[in-house]
Amino acid sequence: MDKLLEIKNLSVRLLTAYGVARGVRGVSLSVGEGEVVGIVGESGCGKTLTAKSVLGLHNAERAEVRGQILYRLKSGATVDLLALKQKELQKIRGGEISMVLQDSSTALSPIITVGRQMEDVILAHSGVKRQEARKTAVGLLESVGISEPEMRLKCLPGELSGGQLQRVCIAMAISSEPRLLLCDEPTTALDSVTQAQILALLKKLSKERNMAVLIVTHNFSVVKRICDRVYVMYAGLIAESGTADEVTQNPRHCYTQDLLKSIPRACEKGRLESVTGALPDVYGDIAGCPYAPRCKSVCEDCLKDISMRGYSPTHFAACIKGGEPDD
């Protein structure tokens, strides 16, 4: 599969009153055309900072972003998004790459109708008249499964449910026909039935439009449900990556194994194990495996530099106890 996005050794350092926070310490990942890729990890591991880096959404005065974010444009040319000027990046935002934020209620103005906000987004990246934009908005709401779209467009965001709002945000994000959709925890605030519906919708849109999706989540069940491949993040680094099946059925990194043991499974009885301890200090340096202080299998060698080991052509983990390669 051709690479659409390739992040190489990304680091994000945030300048704060307490010092320099090392939110992302060296992330490399890729997303193929039309592929659904997950970034999974616990709160604070650097998922959002990584996703935001793709669209250059950091405060330029307070964030130092290093590395390369290579993106292949519709024209076939590859650009480094980190090297682009704001004006050039602005053309790519919305046009080629869109983002759905974690909390849809904050993404919309509460005092402007959903229709007006959708039309404004459509007008911003197309040359159509407002009446045409309204028709497009109706079609988009239909495509994300909202019933009676004309009526919903007249509503204020507060008059829609959380699930409907999230569908509206997805509709707005896909209105420019992006080739890559970034989704930051798109289902966290939703009940499990609505969650499943939104994830199914994202998968369907990805297939229908050959749209790649990079989905950020702390939840492995999201990965199992829709991702082709997944990157497990820990302390601003990639701990493991592979196809969703490889990582969820045969995890090689102790952190991935512990995370998987902590998720509830339908029809299974027994106690869930929680991952004890906390992430390393974001202001400090890390020597050796960052998971060592929490790992039950830690040994002296874990305190040396740990490199990524391959278990199959697609499966990699940075753990010395990952075992033998796959057959």
Ligand X SMILES: Nc1ncnc2c1ncn2[C@@H]1O[C@H](COP(=O)(O)OP(=O)(O)OP(=O)(O)O)[C@@H](O)[C@H]1O
Nearest CB to ligand SF4, comparing residues 93 and 252: 252
Least distance between Mg ion and beta carbon 5 (Å):
19
Contacts of 274 (CB under 8 A, 6+ apart): 262
58's CB contacts (< 8 A; 6+ apart) are 12, 14, 49, 52, 65
Minimum CB distance to ligand X smaller for 49 or for 306: 49
- Please identify, among the stretches 74-82, 118-126, 272-280, 317-325, the one whose residues bind ligand SF4 according to the rule CB under 6 A: 317-325
Residue 16 binds which of ligand SF4, Mg ion, ligand X, none (CB < 5-8 A, kind-dependent): ligand X
Decide if residue 297 touches ligand SF4 (CB under 6 A): yes
**Contacting ligand SF4 (CB under 6 A), which of 34, 206, 289, 316?**
289
Among 292, 309, 310, 314, binds ligand SF4 (CB under 6 A): 292
- Residue 218 binds: one of ligand SF4, ligand X, Mg ion, none (C-beta under 5 to 8 A by kind): ligand X
Spatial separation of the C-alpha atoms in residues 185 and 189, rounded to whole Å:
9
Q: Is 306 in the site for ligand SF4 (CB under 6 A)?
A: yes
Instruction: Please report, as ranges, the residues that interact with ligand X according to CB under 6 A.
Output: 14, 16, 21, 23, 41, 43-49, 218, 282
Q: Does 308 bind ligand SF4 (CB under 6 A)?
A: no
Q: Is 325 exposed, middle or buried (0-12, 13-18, 19+ CB in 10 A)?
A: exposed
How many whole angstroms separate alpha carbon 314 and alpha carbon 300? Answer: 28
- Tell whether residue 48 is a contact of Mg ion (CB under 5 A): yes
**At its nearest, how many Å lie between Mg ion and the CB of residue 56?**
17
Q: Is 253 in the site for ligand SF4 (CB under 6 A)?
A: yes
Q: Which does 295 bind (CB under 5 to 8 A by kind): ligand SF4, ligand X, Mg ion, none?
A: ligand SF4
Measured from the CB atom, is 104 or 117 closer to ligand X? 104
Closest Cα partner for 108 from 183, 164, 147?
164
CA distances to 4, 120, 296 from 85, in Å: 20, 24, 46
- Tally helices (H) and strands (E) across the chain: 11, 12
Whole-Å CA distances, 46 to 12, 58, 87, 214: 9, 13, 26, 14
One of 44, 126, 320, 326 touching ligand SF4 (CB under 6 A): 320
From CA 292, how far away is CA 271, in angstroms rounded? Answer: 24
Closest CA to 275 of 290, 289, 254, 245: 254
What count of other Cβ atoms lies within 10 Å of the Cβ of residue 188? 15
Size of the site for ligand SF4 (CB under 6 A): 14
Q: Which residues of 36-59 are buried (b: 16+ CB within 10 A; e: fewer)?
A: bbbbbbbeebbbbbbbbbbbbbbe
Biggest CA–CA distance in the chain, Å, is 68
Q: How far is the CB of 150 from ligand SF4 (least distance, A)?
A: 54
Q: How far is the CB of 172 from ligand X (least distance, A)?
A: 21
Binding residue for ligand SF4, selected from 4, 205, 211, 254, defined by CB under 6 A: 254
Binding positions for Mg ion, rule: CB under 5 A? 48
Binding positions for ligand SF4, rule: CB under 6 A? 253-255, 289, 291-292, 295, 297-298, 302, 306, 319-321
